[in-house]
Amino acid sequence: MRALISQRLIILAVLALVIAVLPFVFPSSYYFRVASLVWVSALAAIGLNILMGQAGQVSLGHAAFFGIGAYAVAIGPAHFGIPSWAALLLGAVLSAVLAYLVGRPILRLKGHYLAIATLGLGVLMALVITTESGWTGGPDGMPVERLSLFGWRVSGSYTWYWVTGGLLLLGTWIALNLDDTPTGRAFRALHDSEVAAQVVGVDVARFKLQAFVIAAVYASFAGSALAFMNGFINPDQAGFIHSVELVTIVVLGGLGSVVGSIVGAAVLVTLPQALTVFHEYEHLLLGLIIIVSMIFMRNGIVPSLSALLSQRGRS
CA dihedral of residues 219, 221, 224, 226 (deg, nearest 10): -70
Per the prediction, the chain carries an average pLDDT of 88
Alpha carbons 284 and 310: distance in angstroms, whole number: 33
User: Closest by alpha carbon to 36, among 232, 168, 216, 171?
Assistant: 168
User: Is position 247 within any domain?
Assistant: no
Using DSSP, how many helices (H) and how many strands (E) does the chain show? 14, 4
Rounded to two decimals, the pTM is 0.92
Beta pairing partners, 152: 149
- Give tens-digit pLDDT for 272-309: 887 877 777 777 888 888 888 888 888 888 888 888 87
Alpha carbons 12 and 8: distance in angstroms, whole number: 6
User: Is position 308 within any domain?
Assistant: no
Structural domain of 117? 2-240
Domain total in the chain: 1
- Give tens-digit pLDDT for 163-189: 999 999 999 999 999 887 888 888 888
- Give tens-digit pLDDT for 53-75: 888 888 888 999 999 999 999 99
User: Is position 253 within any domain?
Assistant: no
User: Is position 279 within any domain?
Assistant: no
- Give tens-digit pLDDT for 11-63: 999 999 999 999 999 988 889 999 999 999 999 999 999 999 888 888 888 99
- Give tens-digit pLDDT for 100-129: 999 888 888 877 788 888 888 889 999 999
Whether residue 69 contacts residue 88, with contact meaning beta carbons closer than 8 Å, is answered with yes
Residue with more model confidence, 136 or 282 = 136
Cα-based distances in Å from 73 to 68, 151, 171: 9, 17, 20
Would you state the pLDDT for residue 286? 80
Would you state the pLDDT for residue 271? 86
Would you state the pLDDT for residue 226? 94
Residue 242 pLDDT > 60, yes or no?
A: yes
User: Is position 15 within any domain?
Assistant: yes
What percent of the chain lies above the pLDDT cut of 90?
Answer: 44
Cα-based distances in Å from 157 to 26, 232, 272, 276: 12, 14, 20, 21
User: Is position 250 within any domain?
Assistant: no
Alpha carbons 144 and 137: distance in angstroms, whole number: 11
Instruction: Please name the residues in contact with 40: beta carbons below 8 A apart, sequence gap of 6 or more.
Output: 164, 167, 222, 225, 226, 229
User: Is position 302 within any domain?
Assistant: no
| Angle formed by the axes of helices 301-314 and 240-253, nearest 10° | 0
Would you state the pLDDT for residue 112? 78
Please count the residues of the chain: 315
User: Is position 283 within any domain?
Assistant: no
